[in-house]
Amino acid sequence: MLESAVHRTATLAVRALAMLRHLILALAALLAALPAVAQDGRELTQEARKEYNAALKEAGTLIKDRQFDPATAKLDTLIKQRPREPQARFLKGVVETELGHAEAATEIFRGLIADYPELPEPYNNLAVLLAQKGDYESARVALETAVRTAPNWAVARENLGDIYARLAAAEYDRAAKLDRDNKTAPAKLTLVRNLLASSTPPKPKS
C-alpha cells in the first residue's frame, strides 16, 4: 500500500514538474518584451535598438509557436552581434530546454546567473531543470535566490512552494520507510499528494 502511495506521489511530481516547465514560455515572452540593454560597452543607436527589440519579439513569437529552428537561427545571430545581452541568451536557454537539451540550457542559465546575478528569471529556469533531474534541494536554493532577488514575483514563490512540497513528500516517505509503525508520516504524505494534485499553474502575465 505504501509503495502504491509512493508511486502515485512520483506520478504527481512528474505532472507538477511539467507544470513548472510550462511557465518557461510565459517567461520567454516576458523577457522578449523588455528593451535591449547595451551591456557589452557598445551603445546601440536608436535605430539599432529598435531592430534588436523587434528581433527579440520575433524570436519570442517563434518560441511560443514552437518554431524552434528559426528561433534558434535568429537568437544565434543576435547573440553573435551582442554576446553579453541577457535577453537573447535567456531565450536561447528556453529553446534548449524545450528541445530537451538540458545540459546546454543549464549552462546558459548558469552563465546568465554569473553575469547578471540580479536577474531572477535565470534562477527560476535553472530550478526547473534541476527539479526535472530530481535535484530538489538545488532547485530550492535557486528559487530562494530568485525570491530574494525579486520578492514580489509570484511565479518564483509558487514554484518554491511546489519544491517545498516535494521535499516534504520525500521526507515523509523516508520517515514511513524507517518506521513501519509510524502512522502520521503516511497521513502527511497523503496530504501533500492531495495538495500537489489540486494545484494549478499560475496564469502567465499578458
Q: Where are the domains of the chain?
A: 2-198
Q: Is it true that domain 2-198 has CATH number 1.25.40.10?
A: yes
Distance of CA 34 to the CA centre of its chain: 18
Among the residues of the chain, which ranges form H helices?
2-32, 46-64, 68-81, 86-98, 102-115, 120-132, 136-149, 154-178, 184-198
- State residue 119's pLDDT score: 95
Per-residue confidence in pLDDT tens, the chain, 206 aa? 433 433 443 343 444 444 444 445 545 545 544 444 445 546 778 888 899 999 999 999 999 999 999 999 999 999 999 998 999 999 999 999 999 999 999 999 999 999 999 999 999 999 999 998 989 999 999 999 999 999 999 999 999 999 999 999 888 888 888 888 888 888 888 888 777 677 643 332 22
| 31 in Cβ contact with 90 (< 8 Å) | yes
Rounded Cα distance, 40 and 73, in Å: 21
